[in-house]
Amino acid sequence: MNATLVGIVEAAVESASVGEIFGMRHGVQGLLKEDLLDLRRQPPTILSRLRDTPSAALGSSRMKVTDEDLARMLEILRAHDVRHFLYIGGEGSATVVHRLSRAARDARYELRAVAVPKTIDNDVVETDHCPGYPSVARWLALAVREAGLDTEAIGVVDTVKVIETMGRDTGWIAAGTALAREREGEAPHLIYLPERAFDQDRLLADISRVHRERGHVVVVVSEGLKDSRGVYLAASERAVDRDPVGRPQLGGTAQAVCDIIASQLGLKARFDKPGTIQRVSAMMASPVDRDEAYRAGVAGVKAAVDGQTDVMVSITRQAGREYRSTMTLVSLSQVVGRVRAVPPEYIGDAGNDVTPAFAGYLAPLLGGPLPAYPRLADVRVPRKLTTG
């Protein structure tokens, strides 16, 4: 998020078509309150460091924008003579840009509105991937690699480890943990995505099989797992836990899976749930991701000053052996109201893992190999005594 912001600010500073540069505090919530930050007058040293800073320096928001909100937003933009509007985020943010662009057109106000994608969920359509996703995938792949070594070491006591990832409607984040494997048979042994209905009997059969083969099991589950009726395996029923658009807070899927394993198979199962910490690690950020996020911000400014509106910056993967990408534009009418699920060709037939095609898609985005860990050579000492 911050790398994209820096790309926008630096490109805007260099453009002769841009005057003042304002940042909305907490997104459109800040715009509606006219809570704006002067970005042109930020000390240069802050911007240079901000590019590698986690989270979102301007803050973020999630709100349901009404027609009245759109009118108020246009009123404030008019008051400040804002002619270029860039908004960073996922499909919800893209929808705001789409609606604002059309409201400006209907009001005969000249406004170039551009969406710049950023979501760890990787569920925005019409782009190869979204900035943010490669970094959360890298972070989790390493976390699962290390959790696998830990589980292997203590598997005689703690037999099953269940790791829960974020991902409400799609399994891109959970799928990314497959890149943890250095060798065949290593963790994660099983991966379950929301794209396939959760089947308890299938889960138990999978766990039993891997336990027989290896003596320990590492399972990755997405928080958004649902059964065949579309009911979440774990979701808060408290009204206070619903987000501004009415969706329940998810979390607890790993605990539910552990309870099933313990009660039905009699195996001890523990879980790890990284939570929001998985999306804010600057230390493990993918350099490819950081670079593309910055370039996406620059491309957004170029699109706006060139007169483009009602469009989103899109990352296009170039053909060739070496990974390369370019920034293109796509109409927001092709983006809003759609969710990009993990495609069938990336999900194994049994629904408990991903395919090599998915690994080929993600690997170049991680920005280099994960730390490799050695194993002791299996050189046994001959026995001196026979066992009774």
From the list 148, 153, 251, the residue with the least C-alpha distance to 191 is 148
* pLDDT tier for residue 237 given thresholds of 50, 70 and 90: low
Check whether 246 has a pLDDT greater than 70.
Answer: no
Give the mean pLDDT of 350-369. 97
Instruction: Give the integer Cα–Cα distance in Å for 273 and 251.
Output: 9
Q: What is the pLDDT of residue 288?
A: 98
Check whether 388 has a pLDDT greater than 80.
Answer: no
Reported as a single tens digit per residue, the pLDDT across 10-67 is 999 999 999 999 999 999 999 999 999 999 999 889 998 999 999 999 999 989 999 9
Q: What is the pLDDT of residue 242?
A: 66
Give the mean pLDDT of 195-224. 97
Check whether 240 has a pLDDT greater than 60.
Answer: no
Active site residues: 121
- How far CA 251 is from CA of 165, 169, 277, in Å, comes to 9, 13, 14
Residues 6+ away with beta carbon under 8 Å from 3: 51, 52, 131, 290, 291, 293, 294, 297
Residues 6+ away with beta carbon under 8 Å from 202: 350, 351, 352
Q: What is the pLDDT of residue 81?
A: 98
Instruction: Give the integer Cα–Cα distance in Å for 68 and 60.
Output: 21
* pLDDT tier for residue 281 given thresholds of 50, 70 and 90: confident
Reported as a single tens digit per residue, the pLDDT across 66-120 is 999 999 999 999 999 999 999 999 999 999 999 999 999 999 999 999 999 999 9
Give the mean pLDDT of 248-272. 92
Instruction: Give the integer Cα–Cα distance in Å for 278 and 344.
Output: 26
The backbone region for 222, taken as left when phi is positive above 0, alpha when psi lies in -120 to 50, beta otherwise, is: beta
List the domains of the chain with CATH numbers: 2-131+283-334 (3.40.50.450), 138-281+341-366 (3.40.50.460)
Q: What is the pLDDT of residue 155?
A: 82
Instruction: Give the integer Cα–Cα distance in Å for 374 and 338.
Output: 44
Q: What is the pLDDT of residue 44?
A: 81
Q: What is the pLDDT of residue 267?
A: 96
